[in-house]
Every structure is written in C-alpha cells, then in structure tokens.
A and B are shown apart, each in its own frame.
Chain A
Amino acid sequence: MERKLKKTLHKAANQYKFTDNVNIQSVINKKGRKPFNGGFKLNYVVAPLIAVTILGLGAWNISSVNAAISETIEKAINLIVSDNYSELEDNLNQMPPTLAHMAIEINPEGRKRTSYLSGEKEYSKYENGDYTVSDGKSVGQFDKEKNTFTIWKYDRPSQSFEEEYFKTVDESKIQSLGTDAFLGRTVDKYLINGSSELWFDQETKLILREFSVSGNQRVEDSKVIDIKFNVEVDESFFEVKAPKGAKVIESTDPY
C-alpha cells in the first residue's frame, strides 16, 4: 500500500501546474501584508464569537502583574501571545457543558448573528434562521431556504496553530496600546503592525474587537454589540441534529 500511496500522492500533487516563481514584493502588494487577515476572527471552532475570537492574552493576574506587563511584553510579546493560546483552550475546555459565552455581532452588510461557545461546542444563528452547530465532533449547517441540514465530520485540531504562528512573528511588530473599556469590560489592546488591532477581554481572554489595519486605515469587519458570559444553556443545545422535516445531507468530506 505504501508504494501506491506514494505514487498517488505525487500524481495528485502534479494535477495542477504549480510554478516555482517567487516574487515576494508582488505577494506583499497583493495580500496587503495582512498575515492575520480573517484568521483570528475565525479562530475557534465555529467562530461563534467572531470578532469575539477566543484568543487570550491574560496569562497573568491583571491586578497584581499589571506593572510588570510592559516589561514582559518587551521581552517577547509574540511568545506571550503564543503561550496564551494553549491556556485559552484549557480554560474553554474547563467550562461546564451547561454554560456558554454568547455574543451578538453585526457584519458590514448589517447581518446580525448570535453565537454561543462552550468548550469545543459552538452554535451560531442568523436572523433568517440559518444556523451552524458543532458538538466538537461534527458540524451541522441548516439552510432554511433550502430546508437542508448538512453534516460534516469535524476534525478538531489537537493544538492551536496560532500558538505556532505567533512564535514566528517578529515581536517588534506587536505593541501594547494599553487598556480600555468596551461593553462594560476592561480590554487590553494590541497592535500587530500593518495587520490588526486586537482587544482582549482581560478576564476571559476573548477578543472583543478586531480591526484590520493598513497604513492609517483601521477597519472593523464585524462588530460585537452585546456579549454575555456564562449564560445557561441546555446540554442538548449543541446537538448536531437536523430540524424536523429538513433534508439531511451527510457530507463525506472533512469540514
């Protein structure tokens, strides 16, 4: 089987004419040098808390270590952020199954979405009734107009790739913008030069706001207008189960 596998992978890899051309300036111009483009907000499972991405910067005790923050940041801010991804995941996994974080956000088109996150489970619903739900093992998407419920197996990564990603980011490109208040919460603000501005909730380590930054421009793709922590939900809330009467489509592709 191994020879067959090797041959097939090589054949599959050559199905397209991939070139060896590299023009870094053209790539940078094209992509606008935004390494975080979309990735953070769509960070965790069903990206429920979209601009509320679940990151986490607060590996420290805010009140007692505040004074030491700037010094720590100067040491290796990217590694601090990197370390916090794993801590964030641990925190989420410790949530009881009957509690969830909830966020309501509006995208630039004015479309409203309500999202819930609990551990590795996620649920997100649009005003028109479309929704996505994940129990951590599979994902279901309901399309109200088509009345279909598509189910995918969900291969949740065992580790945070952002954790690795931050290790490669030059720490000089990240700077602290201090603290602020947002939706009644205290947030730590960070600027990733030429890319993003991130507002981390000090207590929960969620990202409450994220802006794309290019030059002097700062654009918020999707704005959180309300957030509630530890709201009670039924254990069956995150069940990947089709609504009555919906046509179920079992996808064989990984989600």
Chain B
Amino acid sequence: MDETLLIKNAKQGDDNAFNSLLKPYVKQAKQTAYLLLHDYDLAQDAVQEALIQTHSSLNRFDSNKASFKTWFNRIVVNCSLKQKRKQRFTFQLHDDYENSDNTEKEYILKEDEQLLMDIVKTLKLKYQTVIVLHYFQELSISEIALTLNIREGTVKSRLHNARKKLKKNILSHNSNFSLRGDFLWKES
C-alpha cells in the first residue's frame, strides 16, 4: 500500500495503517534519538512520545508543506530535545535520574570513535542536532531546514560552526590524538 493511502487510512483511525506508515521510519528515528540523547531508554521513550504525538496530530499533517518523513522526523527531533530538557531541568538530585542504560550494546566503539562521540556530546544541542541530521541521516541543507523549521542559512552556519568546534575540540581534548585528513591518529 502506498504512503498516501496509508496516511489517509490512518487519519480515519486505522491503527494498522498507522503502524505500517511508520514502520519504514521508526528504526532511524530511534537511532537519531539515541545519538541526540546518548541513552537507550531515553531514546526509546522519546520515540514513543513522538509516535503518540504523530498519532494524535496526524489530521494536521499537510503533504503540501512537507513530506511525511520530514514531518515525523521533526516530531522525533523535538521529542528528543524535549526529553533532553526534561533530563536537565529535573530538580531531583542527579542520582535519582542517572542513566539506567542496562540494555546491552552489540559492540563497543574503538577508542578514536568513542573519543569522537564524546566530543560530539560536548557540543551545544543545536550543533549536535545538525551534525546528526547531516552526517547520520544524511539530509541535505534544505531538508534539515525543513525538519528544524529554520532557514537554510542558519543550517549552513550551524554546520560550519559545529565542524569548527569539533576540530578544535578534537585537537584540544586529548593530546594522545591528532587529526590528519579524515582520520584521528593515536600518537604513540
């Protein structure tokens, strides 16, 4: 069944159509949320929230304004960022909401990859977001602008600044590594 028909049926309350409509996008949505939140459980929670919002506001979706993928992606990013705020705005003590990251990872990253991820994590959220959308989701500038509802010029400038900060932080973060072209080199 094509997407237009699935949207139509889902709007009429067909939950099976809704499930089928979202199936092609949900794995990447979870991965995106994970890259923004750095926590498996929070990522799952953010995507569940996004699914509920998508379900409850599907009637507002207008295919003339954006593709369904972009629209859903926008909700996912917003829910992830909202989840991030919930984390940080909690007035509870840190121990109360420390990551409960009990799900087992399939593998661990290599040292240089982990370093790069750690440095990405230190970027401001707005930079992390464009980095994830551009380099993980491989969205174009215009697609990112549509997803985040910001101007293309803003996307370009955020990407430029994000790259600049990444490079700077890589070089200053750990003296054991240096940046050569596309690679991080461990100095022995």
Q: How large is the interface on B (under 10, 10 to 19, 20 to 34, 35 or more residues)?
A: 35 or more
Within A155-183, the residues touching B (CB, 8 Å) are: 155, 157-158, 161-162, 164-165, 168-170, 173
Known contacts A22-B51, A44-B89: A1-B179 contact under CB 8 Å: yes
Contact call B93/A38, Cβ cutoff below 8 A: no
Q: Which of A9-17, A91-99, A238-246 contacts the other chain?
A: A9-17
- Residues from chain B with Cβ under 8 Å of A35 in the complex: 49, 52-53, 56
How many chain-A residues does the 8 Å CB contact rule pick out? 67
Residues of B within 8 A of A16 (CB): 34, 40, 103, 105-106
How many angstroms between the C-alpha atoms of A33 and B166 in the bound complex?
39
Q: Let me know if A25 is at the binding interface, CB within 8 A.
A: yes
Which residue of the partner chain B has the closest CB to A16?
B40
- B163 CB to closest chain A CB (Å) equals 7
Residues of A at the B interface (CB closer than 8 Å) are 1-25, 27-28, 30-31, 33, 35, 38-39, 42-48, 50, 113, 115, 124, 130, 132, 139, 141, 143, 150, 153-155, 157-158, 161-162, 164-165, 168-170, 173, 252-255
Starting from the known contacts A12-B109, A157-B126, 14 additional A-B residue pairs (CB-CB under 8 Å) come to A5-B135, A9-B135, A15-B106, A16-B34, A18-B30, A18-B31, A24-B15, A28-B55, A33-B56, A39-B82, A46-B91, A48-B91, A154-B88, A254-B121
Residues of chain B at the chain A interface (Cβ within 8 Å): 15, 18-20, 22-24, 26-27, 30-32, 34-35, 40, 43, 48-49, 51-53, 55-57, 59-60, 74-75, 78, 81-82, 85-91, 93-95, 103, 105-109, 113, 116-118, 120-122, 124-126, 131-132, 135-136, 138, 149, 163, 166-167, 170, 179, 181-184
